[in-house]
Amino acid sequence: MFTEPQSVTISGTALSLPRVAQDGSSSSYKTADGAVTMTVSHASGKRNRRTARIVHTKYAPDPLFPAQNTPFSMTFYVVADVPKTGYTITEQKAIIDGFLANLQATSGANITKLLGGEN
């Protein structure tokens, strides 16, 4: 089980996300103002799917009505989709660590390229 509260740092600000929901296969964590939600979930079938998701909501001027603020949100998630057998947790972690290191290398250059639509 993930510890509570979870902490996420966005733009240099550490945010505390206490657990707000839990069932047998998922937990949700949310900031007091509801602007940031983190969900961790698991699904099992022929394969195991492990998902961690963050949703960030903000208010900004509506492009059609600039005098009105409108909620906008973005979501980022990672999914490990693994067969029931064949990979140890250590092997799974090594693959994920390597992939995340690639995205974060050089001050997140590949994340910036991804978000900019490069492939």
117-31-40 Cα angle (round to 5)? 65
Q: How confident is the model over 60-84, as a mean pLDDT?
A: 95
The string of pLDDT tens digits covering residues 11-60 is 999 999 999 999 999 999 999 999 999 999 999 999 999 999 999 999 99
Band (pLDDT 50/70/90 cuts) for residue 84 is: very high
User: Would you state the pLDDT for residue 1?
Assistant: 84
Share of the chain above pLDDT 90, in %: 96
- 115's CB contacts (< 8 A; 6+ apart) are none
Q: What is the set of domains in the chain, with CATH numbers? A: 6-84 (2.40.160.220), 87-119 (no CATH)
> Rounded to 10 degrees, what is the CA torsion of 36, 32, 4, 40?
-30
Q: Kindly tell me if the per-residue pLDDT of 95 is higher than 90.
A: yes
